[in-house]
Amino acid sequence: MTRQTPQSAGLAFRKMHGLGNDFVVIDARSGGEPVTAALARAVGDRRWGVGFDQLVALLPPSSPDVAADIGFWNADGSEAGACGNGTRCAARLLLDETGAQALSVRTLNGVLRCERAGALVRVNMGPPDLEWDRIPLAYPVDTRALPIEGSPAAVGMGNPHCVFVVEDAAAVDLAALGPGLEHHPLFPERTNVEFVHVIDPGTIRMRVWERGGMITQACGSGACAAAVATARAGLTGRHVRVILDGGPLEIDWREDGVWMTGPTAHVFDGVFSPEFLGEDE
């Protein structure tokens, strides 16, 4: 997948969020310079740039069945194979632009179906990865190797997740535990880390440390992974409301994949200056 940014005097972007999981969306469907890890780090700096949890790039559609290809970068410059809330925000932009009720986008995790659900946006994140080659789905990790008690489940949603069911997710010290778990040798590509507790068979509370080194208000792929893990453990059904720090997402694990429904917000539009982009030297 080629990743391009428009070549112009400045670079237009849109700031969006889904439940406070925030994104800078760059529309690169017309081509331009490739998005680089360095650009992602510069834009992602909340003091020196704009700041985001992920940079979302809309790329030219690589086949006629998709409205756009989409790429995701964390603020540390690493690229992510999946980003649920970022996909919903990109889909909202494309749905608003076309007036369509539904469309598809291509990500590194394949073609994802997106649709309006009233004022909300729903995406099929695809099936959980049963062949995740490092740690099979919901296979209990040997917790003796991890800096926390409990039995986590490893779930692939196009990106890696490690889900811990705990007594009280709100009481977990994410800042203390997150870095060690993200970088633990069990996870060669690092991992996103979710802590959940079950409120009832249809509701879980979740907090997240995202790969890339941050606590976020919400993580869509993480909510899908947590719902899959608790359903497989027999703690919930396959339709679950996941309550995150930023609010609730509805997760529905169907035959054709894990569907996620939630709100999106358009915050503002802006333009990065040539000076910021290093184009005026």
Nearer to ligand LBFN2T5F, 73 or 277 (CB): 73
114, 143 in Cβ contact below 8 A? no
The values of phi and psi at residue 181, to 5°, are -75, -45
Q: Which tokens in the block code for residue 264?
A: 């999106």
Burial classification of residue 35, based on how many CB atoms lie within 10 Å of its CB (0-12 exposed, 13-18 middle, 19 or more buried): buried
Instruction: Output the CA torsion 49→86→140→253 (10° steps).
Output: 170
DSSP of 65-84 = T-SEEEEEEETTS-EES--H
Residues pairing with 206 in the sheet: 196
The answer to whether the Cα torsion of 244, 212, 82, 28 is positive or negative is positive
Which of 259, 257, 266, 267 has the alpha carbon at shortest distance from 242? 259
The verdict on whether 219 is a catalytic residue reads yes
Nearer to ligand LBFN2T5F, 103 or 123 (CB): 123
| Residues that bind ligand LBFN2T5F in the complex, under the rule CB under 6 A | 21, 53-54, 74, 80, 82-86, 159, 192, 210-212, 216, 219-222
Least distance (Å) between residue 83 CB and ligand LBFN2T5F: 4
Is residue 192 marked as binding? yes
Nearer to ligand LBFN2T5F, 190 or 277 (CB): 190
The verdict on whether 83 is a catalytic residue reads yes
Angle, vertex CA 18, rays to CA 156 and CA 160, nearest 5? 15
From the candidates 89, 114, 162, 219, give the one annotated as an active-site residue: 219
Is residue 232 marked as binding? no
Least distance (Å) between residue 158 CB and ligand LBFN2T5F: 8
Least distance (Å) between residue 137 CB and ligand LBFN2T5F: 16
Least distance (Å) between residue 277 CB and ligand LBFN2T5F: 24
Least distance (Å) between residue 9 CB and ligand LBFN2T5F: 31
Nearer to ligand LBFN2T5F, 74 or 230 (CB): 74
Nearer to ligand LBFN2T5F, 126 or 212 (CB): 212
Dist. CA 109–CA 127, nearest whole Å: 10
Is residue 54 marked as binding? yes
Tell me the binding residues for substrate. Answer: 21, 54, 74, 84-85, 159, 192, 210-211, 220-221
**Would you please indicate which residues are annotated as catalytic (active-site) residues?**
83, 219
